[in-house]
Structure 1
Amino acid sequence: MSVKIPRGTQDILPGQSEKWQYIEAIAKDVCRRYHYKEIRTPIFEHTELFKRGVGDTTDIVQKEMYTFEDRGERSLTLRPEGTAAVVRSFVENKMFGHPDQPVKMFYTGPMFRYERPQSGRYRQFVQFGVEAIGSEDPAIDAEVIALVMDIYKSAGLKKLNLVINSLGDAESRNAHREALIAHFEPRIMEFCSDCQTRLAQNPLRILDCKKDRDHELMATAPSILDYLNEESKAYFSKVTGYLDALNISYTIDPKLVRGLDYYNHTAFEVMSEAEGFGAITTLCGGGRYNGLVKDLGGPDSPGIGFAFSIERFIAAMEAERIEWQVDKGLDCYIVALGEEAKDRSVALVHQLRTAGLSADRDYQDRKMKAQLKASDRQNARFTAILGEDELAENRITVKDMAEGSQENVTLQELANYVKTKLEAN
């Protein structure tokens, strides 16, 4: 019986995994500069966390979660997103008591959602996210947005569109909610069954429906911006003012809503405008969630964050044809001829690696020509050839594959020679 990979998942093979590592390294370096530190949470959590944190009315909870019972008959769920778990940890570990607030964190790892697989969207995907919990200063909203834009720009992406909106505070959202119900209710039967359910539970999410997005009532739906109270207007004005001060361009879209129930005030998405990227252009989504910490048993600590899929990040890089700045080859490949030379090459390879160089050798007892081809395939910067004559004279022939030159050095000098030549270039 042939066992194949589950639908909606992927193997990230050597030669491809370097792209994930490259993006993760850029994101982590930007987080370091912004003073955000890594948090790691379990891949599975109690199901109740996501029901309370993400929201019972969301598609994630209702349709997409991988939920199971363990042997103790406890309901557990593979994490579908990262924010709820980070907030749970914030509460459980009493990080709200830290003297320095907000607590700034980032995370990366696999997430799981049972949805129809399509280009750039998988049932297991890798997500990178940031959370800043403990401040209601609109400046932290601008900082979080600046952080994600810095990550994308550091990778070379240029064709980006930052879209922002305000969802307002509880008072503003309640007023908008009543207006949405009045707008959609007379003709709600023309909408899909999901939207019919959302009308009573969370009418804001009707605006996010993919099936009915072209319905005429969508274009005339009440705008949240018309229902913001003075406090919410002032908050949003502060956020946009800070973005202006940071020279970060943006588009205000009153119909932008987030798919999770815990958002309020600032909501934002980053879109790719690269030609050929695909119908789904969203790269990143985020926003403010001032009530989530309290909902999960903690004090009333406001928070803001974002998350992006690394798979979609890679797709955007490839759509813009950006060259990957990844390690493309070995520093040195040792070609050994004869049993004694092969035995000695084991220690030589280790010597190179101990010196901080990448090195390899043949493990298939191949002839010289085949070993040289292997060195070429692995794009070795230097090829070191050790035969019986060289071994007898305690030397090795080192070929500079870029320049085409070669030189004899002692076996003891090999690592230092290669390292010095690389540093000179």
Structure 2
Amino acid sequence: MKQFLFINISVLLILSLVFKTTSIVAVGLIGVFLVVSLVPKGNDKLFYCLSLIFIISVILILTAYYGYMYQFGIPYFGGGSDDLAFEHYSKYVIANHYMMPEQIILDPQFTYSNSIGFIWILSWVMRLSNVFGEYHTIAFRVLNIYFLLALSILVFRYFERKYQFTSKQNLIVLYVIALFPNSQYISIHVFRDTLISLILFSVLFVWDNYFDAKSKGGFSLIKAIALTLILGYISYWLRNESMVFLIAIILTCVVLKDNILSKKNSILFIFLVFLAFILINYYNIWDLILVFNEKYFIHKMELSDGLSNIVFSMSLFPFGILARLGYGLISPIPITILKIGGIFENVTVFFQVIIGFGVIGQIYMLPYLFKNIKRVDKIFISFATTLVGIVITTFTFRHFIMLYPFMVILMFREFFETEKGQRINYFVGVTGVLIFVAGFYLLIK
């Protein structure tokens, strides 16, 4: 742990010197404390891995920062997107002395905003920063990386506790969830999606710990409820739609206490699904879904072409949802690797190519994801619920980070149990499919 603290504090000090504000150290130390509190005692090797991941992440933060400055003149996604807007509105919140989200929502400027919670959190990060100097956009980006590290630790601990794999295999899962290109790309910006993903998996981790017979004695019901209420409050204000996923995760943990969907609990699970459909119909949630779909449909059609246009132009029900589910499993579409010749042309192309190769790796792991159909459990149901929720509403590349904790667990628990010969067969099969699909895509594009 001492080495981890030394490396992290040293990097934070260097960043503070480079950007001339001690606020980066102050905000970064919050992340350091969060990460240290989640690492099991005596696991020094994990700290070494986390130190390496942190250094790589900081390099990517600086790459994005200076790359955007060179390409757009300002250090924000696309020359100024949600990340710039979040910081702008957070300063507005501070100027108007709003302390809680319940105050912010009363301002007419935020009547139709679904980002109040993130603006609230960011405003407090800015307040803390201003005590130690002046807020800099690097400060929250570093904190966001610590959120990603915290998520990775929880996934590692869950995987280690649930499955009997080697320490090396468990660490592979840690590296994949922390260094997956799209996860890194989302986390090196001032976006809320990494924090939302951390909250959702934390809720599953809390309730799984409570119901797990081995750890139930050390994790009380009161503690589980208290943590859930706190996380639920933050989740509601961060993006209230995420509450649907949070509630689904809790119900899944309650019903599947023994992890696997069995005959004994399947009746209760079917009843809950039926009840959910009744509530969806009663509260006109289908209409809300269609509104979301229409809103993001227009946006996606403006930015898409070729295969994307075909998928998003299909009616959502009955076949459009199936097309989107398939498309969602290979998103963001990895056709961007064709730009590899111009990877150093600008930072946008650089990250598009890197993300594209990450998705190619994801596609090679899909056979192992599909193998999980034979053992439906809380991780599988949480993954399926989140995937469906994303593809029928926003289908935004940033939202897919909510899938990754569940997806990585599903993929690698099957991968590690699959014999080498079968892995080779899957590799050859997926390669053939990729060649065919790539040719078809280029043909219709």
TM-score (norm 1): 0.29
Looking at secondary structure, tell me which structure has more helix per residue: 2
Name whichever structure is richer in strand by fraction: 1
TM-score (normalizing by structure 2): 0.28
Q: Which has more radius of gyration?
A: 1
